[in-house]
């Protein structure tokens, strides 16, 4: 599903250049649930942003579902993001003046799905994350866990090839974190490919594979026995 | 661009960001409103100026006499200049090329009474041509004619309001009124656009008035109508030679400003029209400034709006919004708000102008108005510039990488 080859990225900070990713190689198959771990500054968020086409690599190859991702202009990137990817952010990034349902329906709006179908689909995904009753509430009427579940529903709504989660539990307490992870595991059980960036060991072990990043290189890439989050809920 | 979905999205955004919408709308509406009102007032000023002169003919000189202030040719200063009937004949004889008509004027204030009603009115001794200079319109009966002058008849023409005062609703023509102790027959009633004062005049043959006043031949002023075809330059030349002619005849120093005085209506009209035009340019300049201020206002708000929405736009882009759709939404939103509030402001302004009507006449603003095309052009200009003002920050926002926008807290 995802292939990356010799990926480099550096940031210019005034006169200095900060080499963040130093030639990464790895691949993710369909249906995997991968945790990318590393301390802050290890380059894990940069990697996720490049995978998410929110940022561009300096050099190297990136293939997503057989499509080479390169020379993207903004319009093309937007179309690929909409078609291939679903994002889950640490700070949820819901639009605060739109209701939960409208937030979930937004990616479908950009897919030019008719309004009625959008709303039906949004309700369907909201009930999948257990928030059907909250469909018409604004984000600030929801708890942190609920907000993240709305964000997950939104990421799912476009039926993307890959879900990218950047510290999805970073702003949540551990009980809510496990609930969110439980949801992510269930979505993965349905066959969806998911990438989770985290720095928490227990969250990482709820995935099926852990990729360790340190100073811009992969130091470890191992399969793990998945810890089911449901036992903590 | 015009799909229902996009509009629904825009209406939702507008509805849920009322303060923002109100602020930008208010700026635009206020700008247009002030523009329309100011421009209308400018037009009102011009109306006033035009109205001052529309009730008298403009091809007229009034020659008034005064008191000399300079000694000249053996005559001392401080001598009262007098006009008499021979001056009329001399003017008529010497300026046949310029002259269209000529009338003397003797101005008196007399008590006029009919039965029990009595009042004080301006009573002017005039010739038949005076009617053209004052642009009096005869409602019934007739004006003073040549036979009245020749026979020194005791006939009078009275203003509409004089008839109303003395006769109420009855017809005055054919009745006899007492004017300063003499009995006159009313032969006509006139009206005048110049307002109430001008309709409280009565006119009698100047020869009759001279007869009553001990058979004198003195007159107070000469009203001279010149041929309109001599044009402005011709009128100026006529005025100059007329001035010279009278000064020579009456021994008045050429530089003496007080001996005689010629009031040139055409020249005054021209000067006043120029003054009004300058005023309108100033008013127009201020109004134009208001539009500029409105454009700057809407630009500022658009910059602020885009800044405020940076994160939202980042989220939208992460979810698949193309730069085009980002710019399109912001632009359509801003153009929609400016259009609606622009036209609200315009209609309000036009409404204010038409409700003013007569109320500002004390401030020299008569019937203020703005032509609809002008108002619409100003509104459209503001909308276009509002759009451009929105486009620049929108394009910048569309170019921001979503990752940068998302980091924006």
CA-nearest of A38, A35, A77 to A56 is: A77
Question: In B, which residues are within 8 Å of A94 by CB distance?
Answer: 315
Find the distance separating the first CA and the last CA of chain A, reported in whole Å. 31
Contact assignment for A98 to B12 by CB distance below 8 Å:
yes
Number of other CB atoms surrounding residue A20 within 10 Å: 20
Contact assignment for B316 to A106 by CB distance below 8 Å:
yes
Q: Is the pLDDT of residue B1 over 60?
A: no
Question: In B, which residues are within 8 Å of A54 by CB distance?
Answer: 318, 401-403, 406
B313, B315, B321, B327 alpha-carbon torsion, rounded to 10°: 0
Any A CB within 8 A of B165 CB: no
User: CB-CB: which of B320, B398, B399 is closest to A81?
Assistant: B320
Contact assignment for B323 to A82 by CB distance below 8 Å:
no
Any B CB within 8 A of A89 CB: yes
- CATH top-level class of A31-59+73-232: alpha beta
Q: Is the pLDDT of residue B2 over 60?
A: no
| B99-114 vs B117-126, strand pairing mode | antiparallel
Any A CB within 8 A of B244 CB: no
pLDDT band at residue B409 using 50, 70 and 90 as cut-offs: low
Any A CB within 8 A of B313 CB: no
State CA A143 to chain mean position distance.
20
Q: What is the largest CA-CA distance in chain B?
A: 107
* Dist. CA B148–CA B161, nearest whole Å: 23
State CA A193 to chain mean position distance.
10
Contact assignment for A81 to B315 by CB distance below 8 Å:
no
Q: Is the pLDDT of residue B311 over 60?
A: yes
- Could you give the 3-state DSSP secondary structure of residue A218? strand
- Could you give the 3-state DSSP secondary structure of residue A110? helix
Question: In B, which residues are within 8 Å of A158 by CB distance?
Answer: 319-320
Any A CB within 8 A of B377 CB: no
Q: Is the pLDDT of residue B54 over 70?
A: no
Residue B167 contacts residue B159 (beta carbons within 8 Å): no
Contact assignment for B13 to A97 by CB distance below 8 Å:
yes
> For position B56, what pLDDT does the model report?
66
Q: Where along chain A do its domains lie?
A: 31-59+73-232
Question: In B, which residues are within 8 Å of A74 by CB distance?
Answer: 317, 322-323, 398-399
Closest CA in chain B for residue A86? B319
Tokens 């000249």 correspond to: B72
Contact assignment for B320 to A89 by CB distance below 8 Å:
no
Any A CB within 8 A of B315 CB: yes
pLDDT band at residue A34 using 50, 70 and 90 as cut-offs: very high
> For position B144, what pLDDT does the model report?
93
Contact assignment for B319 to A81 by CB distance below 8 Å:
yes
**CB-based contacts of B303: which residues, under 8 Å, 6+ apart?**
B393
Question: In A, which residues are within 8 Å of B321 by CB distance?
Answer: 78, 110
Any B CB within 8 A of A102 CB: yes
Choose between B5 and A118: higher pLDDT.
Answer: A118
pLDDT band at residue B210 using 50, 70 and 90 as cut-offs: very high
Query: What confidence tens digit (pLDDT) does each residue in B116-140 have?
Result: 888 999 999 999 999 888 888 899 9
Any B CB within 8 A of A157 CB: no
CA-nearest of A80, A38, A5 to A214 is: A38
Element (H, E) at B71: none
Q: How far is CA B16 from CA B128, B339, B393, in A?
A: 77, 19, 21
> For position A174, what pLDDT does the model report?
85
Question: In A, which residues are within 8 Å of B315 by CB distance?
Answer: 93-95
Q: Is the pLDDT of residue B326 over 80?
A: yes
What angle in degrees, to the nearest 10, is found between the helix axes of B4-16 and A100-110? 140
Any B CB within 8 A of A78 CB: yes
Q: pLDDT above 90 covers what percent of chain B? A: 20
Query: What confidence tens digit (pLDDT) does each residue in B222-254 have?
Result: 999 988 888 788 888 888 888 899 898 888 888
**CB-based contacts of B379: which residues, under 8 Å, 6+ apart?**
B32, B342, B343, B345, B346
Instruction: Report DSSP letters for A38-102, one per residue.
Output: --TTSSHHHHHHHHTTSS--SEEEEEETTEE--S--HHHHHHHHHHHEEEE-TT----TTS-HHH
> For position B185, what pLDDT does the model report?
94
pLDDT band at residue B408 using 50, 70 and 90 as cut-offs: low
Question: In B, which residues are within 8 Å of A98 by CB distance?
Answer: 12, 16
Closest CA in chain A for residue B310? A95
* Dist. CA B335–CA B333, nearest whole Å: 6
Q: How far is CA B395 from CA A69, A192, B298, B303, B313, in A?
A: 24, 36, 16, 11, 12
Residue B225 contacts residue B129 (beta carbons within 8 Å): yes
> For position A101, what pLDDT does the model report?
93
Q: How many helices and strands in chain B, by DSSP H and E? A: 13, 12
Count Cβ atoms within 10 A of the Cβ of residue A199 and give its class: 0-12 exposed, 13-18 middle, 19 or more buried. Answer: middle
* Dist. CA A70–CA A79, nearest whole Å: 13
Query: What confidence tens digit (pLDDT) does each residue in B363-385 have?
Result: 777 777 888 888 888 888 888 88
Strand-by-strand arrangement of the A162-166 sheet: A85-88, A162-166, A193-198, A33-37, A209-214, A217-223
* Dist. CA B1–CA B16, nearest whole Å: 21
Residue B345 contacts residue B25 (beta carbons within 8 Å): no
Residue A164 contacts residue A88 (beta carbons within 8 Å): yes
| A33-37 vs A193-198, strand pairing mode | parallel
Query: What confidence tens digit (pLDDT) does each residue in A128-155 have?
Result: 888 899 999 999 999 988 999 899 999 9
């Amino acid at each position: 599903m995802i292939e990356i080859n010799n990926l480099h990225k550096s940031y210019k900070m005034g006169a200095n250049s900060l080499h963040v990713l130093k030639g990464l190689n790895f691949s993710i198959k369909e249906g995997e649930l991968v945790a990318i771990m590393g301390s802050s500054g290890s380059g894990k968020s940069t990697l996720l942003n490049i995978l998410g086409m929110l940022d561009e690599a300096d050099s190297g190859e990136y293939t997503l579902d057989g499509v080479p991702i390169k020379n993207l202009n903004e319009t093309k990137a937007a179309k690929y993001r909409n078609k291939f990817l679903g994002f889950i952010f640490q700070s949820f990034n819901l639009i605060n003046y739109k209701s939960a349902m409208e937030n979930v329906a937004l990616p479908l709006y950009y897919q030019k799905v008719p309004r009625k179908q959008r709303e039906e689909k949004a309700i369907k995904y909201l009930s999948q994350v257990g928030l059907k009753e909250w469909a018409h509430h604004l984000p600030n009427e929801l708890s942190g866990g609920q907000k993240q579940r709305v964000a997950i529903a939104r990421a799912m709504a476009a039926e993307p090839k890959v879900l990218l989660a950047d510290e999805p539990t970073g702003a949540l307490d551990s009980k809510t974190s496990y609930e969110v992870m439980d949801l992510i595991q269930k979505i993965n059980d349905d066959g969806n490919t998911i990438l989770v960036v985290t720095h928490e060991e227990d969250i990482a072990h709820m995935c099926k594979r852990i990729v360790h990043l340190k100073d811009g290189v992969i130091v470890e890439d191992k399969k793990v026995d998945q810890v089911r989050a449901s036992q903590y809920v | 661009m015009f799909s229902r979905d996009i509009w629904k999205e825009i209406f939702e955004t507008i509805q849920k960001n009322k303060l923002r919408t109100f602020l930008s709308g208010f700026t635009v509406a206020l700008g247009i409103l002030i523009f329309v009102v100011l421009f209308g007032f400018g037009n009102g000023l011009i109306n006033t100026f035009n109205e001052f002169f529309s009730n008298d003919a403009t091809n007229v000189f009034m020659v008034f006499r005064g008191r000399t202030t300079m000694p000249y040719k053996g005559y001392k200063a401080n001598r009262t200049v007098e006009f008499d009937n021979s001056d009329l004949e001399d003017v008529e004889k010497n300026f046949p090329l310029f002259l269209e008509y000529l009338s003397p004027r003797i101005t008196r204030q007399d008590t006029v009474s009919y039965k029990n009603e009595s009042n004080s009115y301006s009573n002017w001794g005039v010739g038949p041509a005076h009617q053209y200079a004052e642009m009096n319109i005869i409602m019934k009966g007739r004006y003073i004619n040549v036979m009245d002058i020749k026979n020194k008849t005791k006939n009078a023409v009275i203003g509409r309001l004089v008839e109303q005062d003395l006769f109420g609703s009855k017809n005055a023509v054919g009745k006899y009124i007492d004017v300063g102790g003499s009995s006159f027959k009313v032969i006509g009633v006139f009206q005048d656009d110049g307002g109430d004062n001008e309709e409280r005049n009565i006119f009698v043959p100047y020869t009759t008035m001279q007869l009553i006043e001990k058979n004198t031949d003195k007159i107070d002023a000469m009203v001279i109508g010149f041929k309109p075809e001599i044009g402005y330059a011709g009128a100026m030349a006529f005025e100059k030679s007329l001035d010279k002619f009278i000064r020579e005849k009456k021994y008045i120093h050429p530089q003496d400003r007080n001996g005689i005085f010629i009031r040139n209506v055409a020249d005054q009209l021209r000067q006043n029209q120029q003054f009004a035009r300058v005023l309108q340019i100033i008013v127009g300049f201020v109004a134009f400034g208001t539009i500029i201020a409105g454009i700057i206002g809407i630009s500022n708000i658009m910059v602020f709006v885009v800044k405020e929405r940076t994160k939202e736009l980042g989220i939208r882009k992460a979810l698949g919004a193309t730069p085009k759709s980002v710019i399109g939404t912001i632009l359509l939103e801003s153009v929609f708000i400016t259009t609606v509030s622009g036209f609200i402001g315009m209609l309000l302004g036009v409404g204010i102008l038409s409700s003013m009507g007569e109320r500002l006449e004390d401030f020299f603003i008569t019937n203020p108005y703005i032509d609809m095309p002008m108002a619409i052009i100003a509104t459209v200009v503001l909308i276009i510039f509002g759009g451009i003002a929105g486009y620049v920050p929108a394009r910048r926002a569309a170019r921001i990488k979503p990752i940068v926008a998302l980091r924006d807290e």
